[in-house]
Each structure stands twice: as C-alpha cells, then as structure tokens.
Chain A
Amino acid sequence: MGHHKEFIDKPMLDAAVTGRAFKLAAVIGGVGLAATAAGLAMGEKEQFFFSWLVAFMVFTTISVGALFYTIIHHVARATYSAGLRRTAENVAANLPIMAVLFIPVILGMHTLYHWTHAEAVAEDPILQWKSGYLNDTFFLIRAAAYFAVWTALIWFFRRTSVAQDASGDVALTFKMRKYAPIGVLAVALSITFAGFDWAMSLDPHWFSTMFGVWTFAGSLVGFYAVQALMVLWLSKPGRYENTLTVGVRHDAGKLLFAFTIFWAYISFSQYYLIWYANIPEETAFFQHRLQGGWENVGRLVIIGHFLLPFWVLMSRHMKRNRTVLALGAGWMIVMHFVDLYYVIMPNFHTHGPHYHWMDLTALLGIGGLWLAFIIRRYQKAAGVAYRDPQLIASMEYDNA
C-alpha cells in the first residue's frame, strides 16, 4: 500500500445543504404537479394521460437503471464504484414512489391503450390473438409484479448497505454479493416486459424483439446522466471532495459515454433491420414517426442523443471538467425524455407533434417530487457507503 488514503470527509451532508436542495426540489415538484392537475381539471384528459405517461416512464426507467447499477456493482465485485453505490441506492429507492405515481396510468388505461377497448378487440383478429397477454387484469398483475420485484430488491440492498454504515461488517458485503446475480436476472426480465407493456403496447400491432433491450439501454443512459450530476453535486468542497475524487467523476463520465454508444447501437439496429426488411407491419411504427413534423424530433434524437454526446464525451479532458460533464449529463437527461417522447407521443398526436405545456409540467412535477425523495435519503443516511471495505481502494484509482 503506497499512498495511504483514508476516509476523511464527514459521513453526513450538512443539513443546510440538503435542506436547501430539498426545498427547491419540493417546490418545483409541487408547482409542476399542481399545474398538471389544473390541466386535467381544465378537461384536457387525453393530453394529461399521455404527458403523465412520458414523465412517469422517464423517472421509472432512470430508477430501474439505478437499481441495475446497485446490483451489478456486487455481481462484478467492482471496487471502483464503492463511492458511487449509495447514490444508485438512493435513486433506486424511489421505485416504490413510482408505483404510487403509476396510479394515473391505471386510471388512464382506457385512454392510453387501444387494446383495452372490448369493441376494438372484437373487430380485430390480431388483438384477439394477443388478448391472452394484452388484457386489463393481466396488465395490472404484471405491473404489480414489476413493482413488487423492484421494491423488494432495493429494500434489501439499501437496507443492508445502510446497516454496514453502522457496523462496518464485511459479512454484509458478502450477503449482498450472494443475492446480486439473481437480482440482475429479475431486473433484466422485469424491465423488458415493463417496456413491452407500458410503451410497446401503445401501438398494439407493432412488435420488436429488441424493444426490451432498448428500454434497458435508455434506462441506463438516463441513470448514468443523473449519477454524473449527483457526483458533481456531492463532490463539492465540504461534502465528499476527498472520497469522490476526479477519478470517480471521470468514471461516471465514462459510463455515460459508453452507454450512450450502447443505446445508439441498440436503437440503430432496431431501426435499421426494420427499414431494410421493409415489412409493412413493422415499418408502420417508423412511418408514423417520420412524417408530419415527427421526423424533426427523430433527427433531434439522432443528433442529440448520440452524435453530439459522442464527440463531446469522448475526450478525457471533457469528462474530467466539471462544467462540461454537468452540461453533458444534464443534456442527456433531456435527451432521455425526448427519446421516450418520440416513442410514446406519436401514438396520441398521430399527425405530427403538438407540444403541450403539460408535457413540461408533468416532467417537472414528477421530477421534482422524485428528486425531493432522493434528497430526503441524504438527510437520513450517509451519502457514501463510508464503511464499505472497498471504499479506500476505490479512492486510489486516479484514472490517470
């Protein structure tokens, strides 16, 4: 052991810091939710449900991405991410909250999902064929199962992790490692079918074997963007500046960069194979999204979700620069929203984009609330797993 490092930051964030952040997030969330509720009261029911679904999907996928990262850390027995994992745990712990925020989707099922209409199914042989899977009861059972799996997993991993703050017991790390592989399987399958249910079935005739992987890829891009912003916030002077080193920030940037490419690979493969084979039942999906103005949103996704971040985040210098990383990560959260908007919203505004203020208020409302709950967790427990036996080793990677 050459340079002996040790944990010298304060385990807890200052109450003033978290208090300010909490207040800001809660106000944004409150105002956003109130405005969205007003929109619903004004009678724009259909727009409300679609705007809500997009915002719900943005933050649910990010939370599931965080859950995946929490667990994969233990599967891979990673060292570098010891200082990052509490952030992932805190974000993923919002999944039970997302279950509550799913209630409007249930209430709006009839508006959102064409296959819930008995009369539509009656005259459509394809929907009849699928009705063993696409029916109200099974849809709700599946949603309950996804949230149950996610809640159980994050409850176990976060509780065990916080318990280690008190005891510093190495056995807890082994305990988490023991259950991690099965957790990864459960997350992979649940996010796949959640993607099929909540987004793909909006267009119930359309299908793609890649859609589950696509949902997963977007989830991780969204989460890595959030993680990069959180690390920047947590590594400011007086917080965890000695623990979350420039090397850790660099790693957060690398993950964002790598999964931006992974997302592009998956999205391109899906588009390209459908375009090349040119079978009508598959191309219809992209046909809708390439006309009436939607094609401009598609161009924005290609440029904003891949080309721009690819060139900006490739450089080591950019990833280690606080301002560039913050801009890049913030931009990618917006792009994650645009990506989901591009998949979900054309099912409602079929003839071209029709931007509505509720798209924004629902996003800010759910997002503010979501962030406020995350900040709460920093008020209750340490912001890094400071007695993780691998933490000191993680601080020694300088990524030079």
Chain B
Amino acid sequence: MATVSRDDTIFPPPLVAGDPTFGSITDTICRIVEKPPTIPWLVAFGAASTVLTMLLCAIAYLFWEGTGIWGLNNPVGWGWAIVNFVFWVGIGHAGTLISAVLFLFRQKWRTAINRFAEAMTIFAVICALVFPGIHVGRIWAAYWMLPLPNQMGMWPNFRSPLLWDVFAVSTYFTVSLLFWYVGLIPDLATLRDRAKGKLAFWAYGFFSLGWRGANRHWQNYERAYLILAGLATPLVLSVHTIVSFDFAVSVIPGWHTTIFPPYFVAGAIFSGFAMVLTLAVPSRKLFGLQDFITVRHIENMNKIILVTGTMVGYAYAMEFFIAWYSASPYEAFAFVNRAFGPYAWAYWIMVSCNVITPQLFWFKKIRTNIVLTFILSIFVNIGMWFERFVITMSLHRDFLPSSWDYFSPTLFDWAMLIGSFGLFFTLFILFLKFLPAVAIAEVKGVLPQANPHWEGYHKHAEGGAHHG
C-alpha cells in the first residue's frame, strides 16, 4: 500500500495527542484546580457574577411589580420567558447526549468533552428552570405547579404539556446531576489524594464517597454508569419532545404541526453542541487542554452541528411545504407572515444562522479551523434563540386582525435574557476552578497503553496504534 498521510489513514488519529503518560494527564488536569486563581479567571468570574447580580435585581423587581414589566401584550401573552426557557433547555441537551448517547454508541472521542458538556447541561437546565419559576407572576403560588395534595382540592391540569414539562425537566435535571456526579467520583478521589489543604482534603474526600479505586469499586461504577446512560437516553429525547408539545398540541397555525417533536430534539442537539464548542474553544486554550480536546474532537462536533443543522433545515422546509400543501389559508398565512411579515428580520436571522452558515462545515478546512468554529458556534447560538423567538411570535397576528400587535421587549426582558447568561457563566467558571474539567480516569482509558494487549511498552516513544 502506498504511504498515506495521517489524515488519510482508514482509522482516525489517536484520541489524546502529545504522547502523554498516565501521570502527566493527572498533572495537567489537576493543576487547573490546584493552582491559585489566575487573573483571566478572576476577571471572567467578576464579569459573570456582575451580570448575575443584574438578573437577581431584575427578578426582585419582577416579584415586586409583576409581569407587566415585560413587553407582553394581548395577542403575545407568552414572550421571552418561554423563549429563554426553551433556549436554555435546548442547550441542556448536549451534555447528556454526549455522555449517554455517545457512550451507548461507543464513541470514545466523547471522553475529552463529556465532563464539561455535562456540567454545561446542568447549568443550562438551572437557567431554564428560572423562567417558568418566575413567569407565574404570583411567585408565592409557584408551588401550585406541583401536584401537592391540599385542602382546597386544587390540582394542576394533568392534561397540559406545561405540567409534563415540570415532571420531565425536573426528572432530567435529577438524572443528569446523578450521572455527572457518578462520573466525577474517581476524579474527586484523585483530587482528594493530591490535596494540600485541610478544607480541600475534607471536601473532595466527602464527595468521593470513600473511593479507593478497588476492583469492586470500578465494577460497581461501570455498572452504575451504564444504567444511568440507558436511563438518560430516553430522558434526553422526552424533555424536548414535551417542550415541543407545549406548542404543538395547540391549534395555533405555526405551532400545531406533527414534525415538532423530532424537529425540536434535533434543534436541541444542534444548539447544545454549538454551546459546547463556544465554551470548549476558549477553555482548551486558556487551560492548555489542546492535547485532550484535539482538532479531531472539534471536527467531530462540527460534523454533528452540520447534520443536526441540516435536519432543522429539513423541518423548516417541511413546515413550509405542508403549509402550502395543506391548502389551509391560516397555515399558509402563518408561514408567509413569518418570512415576509413584521418579524421577517427575525425569521431570516434564524434561517441564516441555523441553516445557511452551518453548511460551511461541509468543508474540512472550515471544520478544522478553530477561529471559524468559534464564530460559527456563536452564530448557531444566536440562530437557535431566534428560532424559539420566531415560533413564539406566531402569536402576534392571531385569528382576529383587530387584535394584531407587535411585541417589543422592555429593558427588563433584556436584563433577564442577558442576566441568564450571567448565571450560566458564573456557574461554569466556578466549575472550571473547583472540579476537574476533563474526565481524568476516562481519558486514561482511551490511551493506547490502557489496552492490556498494548505492544508498545518497549517502544513507547512511537505512540503506538490504538486500535486493536
């Protein structure tokens, strides 16, 4: 066989670059946690927590004054609160998808990115849960969302997908948190064993649950991880399916269409992977993780963005085609109004960012370009926020032309959208400092020398073929 370059070999390049040893991996990842906070970290944390403070102030004023401070009006009774909720829940899909679905598919490249994708999931779901919580207006009655027995005999409407959301998202949050925590245990024990200070030793020791790395520990761990992955997979799909039901069970043109469940799930994966890239690209540079999150990882994620973005484009096309094919004047109006009505600007931002720009990832040069990846991932984040905005704004021209109106966000709408990013980044920046950002034990498992049949013990310098 003729010699071929590394890119052309039939098997992909090794998952971990730079020929590391088990010890060097532990050192690289633990050092991020162990060294004192750097100036960039302090600046980032300061900025994020300032924005978070703005969110808290806006929420406090909302509780005092009521939802009238938002731009809601008569036909548009559902504004940015639902847009932001769906946006964040969507982002909260990638972590569990990477961890659970890619785990079941035995996609080993997931090991470098799963830890912080899972963390991102949990923080995104926290951001999402804020919005249904605060949008009820009478915050002291928020517990009515839960089916708690009470002497008034009042129950939530069990036929409403909004109630199923409460169950679906809280179940998803619980399982995602458990999944993340179970995966963390071996690494927490590593940090415990290396801890210099009393507090760190005590804290990591408490949460590592007495892990000693015994054979039996590993066996139980692997079993628990597999079961949680199996449980998390249907949950990932169910959450955004039910979120799509919030819209699709109605009789509103533009909301009621049968393709919504898989279309929403594809969109959620799409936006989640984009957010993983938005976070991974700067983090790997800042913390020197380039050997773990290699160009191959980034290229794989870009391919998933291309696939899911194209699925989303397919769904847009089907909606449009069937709106025409149905011969229903209301359906047709809803879509023509989206593309050419007062919100046409939002519609075309959505199409450009979700369908058109991701097509650039057809080119390997662009998929493997770190700067372009970062820029395009932000485009996807913007596009997916606008997708939910465009869908929600179907309300602005309802069946009664005399009540048509235009939704304009107020200062408080903006404060809460931007503020939710403050919450998200504050949590994420804290995570980077206090927990191992890459799954140490799992990355070691995909090294060639982890294979008991590895032939390279005597010629380690060559790197070794990792397949086999």
Contact = CB atoms under 8 A, between A and B. Distances in A.
Interface string B1-17: 10010001011100000
B453 A273 contact: no
Contacts of B315: 209
Given A77-B12, A174-B8, A209 B322 contact: yes
Contact of B249 (A2, A130, A170, A276): A276
Interface in A205-260: 207-213
Given A209-B257, A269-B241, A393-B11, A2 B468 contact: yes
B322 A126 contact: no
Interface in A167-197: 170, 173-174, 181, 185, 188-189, 192, 196
A209 B453 contact: no
A2 B262 contact: no
Nearest to A275: B249
A79 B106 CA distance: 11
Nearest to B257: A209
B224 to A, nearest CB: 18
A2 B259 contact: no
B258 A274 contact: yes
Nearest to A389: B10
A212 B237 contact: no
B452 A129 contact: no
B399 interface: no
A77 B11 CA distance: 9
Interface stretch (B213-221, B323-331, B386-394): B323-331
A209 B319 contact: yes
Nearest to B249: A276
Contacts of B326: 207, 281
Contacts of A170: 1, 4, 10
B467 interface: yes
Contacts of A265: 237, 241, 261-262
A390 interface: yes
B448 to A, nearest CB: 11
A356 interface: no
A2 B452 contact: yes
Contacts of B30: none
Given A170-B4, A389-B10, A393-B468, A207 B322 contact: yes
Contacts of B194: none
A210 B465 contact: no
B120 to A, nearest CB: 25
A277 interface: yes
Interface string B249-279: 1110000111111100000000000000000
Nearest to A193: B321
Contacts of A185: 310
A133 B321 CA distance: 11
B222 interface: no
Contact of A273 (B260, B310, B455, B465): B260
B314 interface: yes
Nearest to A126: B327
A279 B251 contact: yes
Nearest to B306: A181
A178 to B, nearest CB: 11
B325 A133 contact: yes
Q: How large is the interface on B (under 10, 10 to 19, 20 to 34, 35 or more residues)?
A: 35 or more
B318 interface: yes
Contacts of B260: 269, 273
Interface string A60-104: 000000000000000001010000000000000000000000000
Contacts of B318: 192, 209, 212
Interface string A1-27: 111000000000000000000000000
A129 B327 contact: yes
B287 interface: no
A284 interface: no
B362 interface: yes
B248 A273 contact: yes
A196 B249 CA distance: 23
A264 B78 CA distance: 32
B262 A173 contact: no
A181 B307 CA distance: 9
Nearest to B8: A174
Contacts of A209: 257-259, 315, 318-319, 322
A74 B383 CA distance: 30
A213 B315 CA distance: 10
Interface string A106-118: 0000000000000
Contacts of A133: 325
Given A77-B12, A170-B1, A170-B4, A213 B259 contact: yes
B121 to A, nearest CB: 21
Contact of A393 (B250, B453, B467): B467
Contacts of A3: 453
B258 A270 contact: yes
Nearest to A276: B249
B33 to A, nearest CB: 35
A188 B314 contact: yes
B362 A181 contact: yes
Given A277-B250, A393-B468, A269 B258 contact: yes
A396 interface: yes
A390 B10 contact: yes
Given A133-B325, A188-B314, A281-B328, A273 B362 contact: no
A173 B249 contact: no
Given A173-B10, A279-B251, 17 more contacts: A1-B455, A170-B10, A192-B314, A207-B326, A209-B257, A209-B259, A209-B318, A209-B319, A212-B318, A265-B237, A266-B262, A273-B258, A276-B249, A277-B256, A389-B10, A393-B11, A393-B468
Closest 7 CB pairs of A and B: A2-B453, A1-B468, A209-B259, A210-B258, A129-B327, A269-B261, A276-B249
